[in-house]
Amino acid sequence: MTHDQPAQPALRVQGIQKSFQDLQVLRGVDLDVEAGSIVALLGSNGAGKTTLVRILSTLLKADAGTATVHGHDVAARPGAVRESISLTGQFAAVDEILTGRENLVLVARLRHLKDPGAVADELLARFSLTEAGGRRAATYSGGMRRRLDIAMSLVGDPPIVFLDEPTNGLDPQARIDVWKGVKKLAESGTTVLLTTQYLDEAEQLADRIAILHEGTIIQDGTLAELEALLPPAQVEYVEKQPTLEDVFLSLVGTSARKES
């Protein structure tokens, strides 16, 4: 799959602010996401991750700042933004009465695509669900439902996908299965913005990691760049390299532990 990408970043966020009554959730967020990359937006519960995604997907209006998605301003051209994205929320939105294949065919028909059956079969194969395609989604495991949910979000080949806490509540094996599906997205050229509070998930998936804390991005870089923020490993009996958890807790301090 290939997408016609604008020369500028796939996502550009500049000075985004958002408050709910007296609660200021976003305090001036700046973030660029390059086309074809996976960027993890990492933060504790309540850090503002979902709020930012809702703004980028035109479900909320920012109080201040600007954002462009696939070259389209989210405030001025919300329709064009919605045509360029797909959003997968924290809970799988599959119809449990339908089979996996029927779920995909339904979405393809709603998007007026040619040959919905072929679209469904290709996505079932891509997410290793072909054998389960004829079963009702109610019989699927949590990981299979989430993979089907992500597959449904890809009907029509959107160039940009937002994944909001995609493995929330899943068991370890199901999480690994979802990770494989997300990696396939990037391999196919899709731009992925992934929100997560799981440090190992960001380590496994992201090309770059942006740490959102108290409404702002406090660090943004590759895993190696973030690890370099900590002092070199001390050699005693064994060498202990800093983990992303070490970096995260060092940057956000004890407040992250209290929030979690």
Q: Residues 149-191: pLDDT tens digits?
A: 888 988 988 999 999 988 887 888 778 888 888 888 888 889 9
Q: Give the N- to C-terminal CA distance of the chain in Å, as an integer.
A: 39
Q: In degrees rounded to 5, what are phi and psi of residue 80? A: -65, -35
| pLDDT score at 257 | 47
| pLDDT score at 236 | 64
Q: Residue 11 forms beta bridges with which residues?
A: 33, 69
Read off the amino acid at residue 259.
E
Helices (H), 15-62: 49-56
Who's near 243: CB < 8 A, 6+ residues apart?
Answer: 199, 203
Cα distance between residue 94 and residue 191, in whole Å = 23
Q: What is the pTM of this model?
A: 0.81
Burial of 213 (0-12, 13-18, 19+ CB in 10 A): buried
| pLDDT score at 174 | 78
Who's near 14: CB < 8 A, 6+ residues apart?
Answer: 30, 65, 66, 67
| pLDDT score at 246 | 80
Structural domains of the chain, with CATH: 11-91+160-169+187-259 (3.40.50.300)
**Quick one: DSSP state of residue 242?**
P
Is residue 211 within 8 Å of 219, Cβ to Cβ? yes
What is the helix (H) or strand (E) element at residue 151, kind and residue range? helix 142-153
* Sign of the Cα pseudo-torsion (94, 187, 87, 70, in order): negative
| pLDDT score at 120 | 96
Q: Residues 19-31: pLDDT tens digits?
A: 999 999 999 999 9
Q: What is 59-102 written as a DSSP string?
A: SS--SEEEEEETTEETTT-HHHHHHHEEEE-SS----TTSBHHH
Which regions of the chain are under pLDDT 50?
A: 1-2, 5-6, 256-260
Q: Residue 217 forms beta bridges with which residues?
A: 212
